[in-house]
């Protein structure tokens, strides 16, 4: 894992109350490693994700992020049969 990835995972973990003490590897496995689909539209970024942590991530929906060009991020639960 690169130093940049390590630092980004740690910053992400600090934003999530329960996960602030998790290691970078744990954050990767809990949030990043699980597959999903991302689509970028005019003013939104939609993340279709199959993950048990989806409820936690939905707390960050409807906020605009300057580092994503002031786009909103929407987390959507993926279902499969």
pLDDT at 53: 62
> Is 0.85 topped by the overall pTM?
no
Q: What is the pLDDT of residue 72?
A: 82
Number of compact structural domains in the chain? 2
Same-domain check for residues 28 and 56: no
**Whether residue 54 is found in the same domain as residue 29:** no
What tens digit of pLDDT does each residue of 32-78 get? 776 677 888 888 888 777 665 666 666 666 677 777 788 887 777 76
Burial letters 39-64, b for 16+ CB under 10 A, else e: eeeeebbbbebebeebebbeeeeeee
Same domain, 12 and 47: no
Query: 53 and 23, same structural domain?
Result: no
Give the per-residue pLDDT at 81: 47
Q: Is residue 65 domain-shared with residue 45, that is, in the same domain?
A: yes
pLDDT tens column, 57-68: 666 666 777 777
Range of the domain at 80: 35-81
């Amino acid at each position: 894992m690169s130093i940049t990835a390590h630092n980004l995972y740690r910053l992400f973990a600090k934003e999530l109350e329960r996960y602030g003490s998790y290691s970078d590897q744990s954050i990767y496995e809990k949030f990043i490693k699980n597959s999903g689909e991302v689509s970028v539209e005019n003013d939104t970024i939609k993340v279709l994700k199959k993950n048990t942590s989806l409820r936690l991530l939905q707390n960050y929906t409807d906020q605009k992020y300057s580092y994503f060009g002031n786009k909103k991020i929407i987390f959507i639960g993926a279902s499969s049969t």
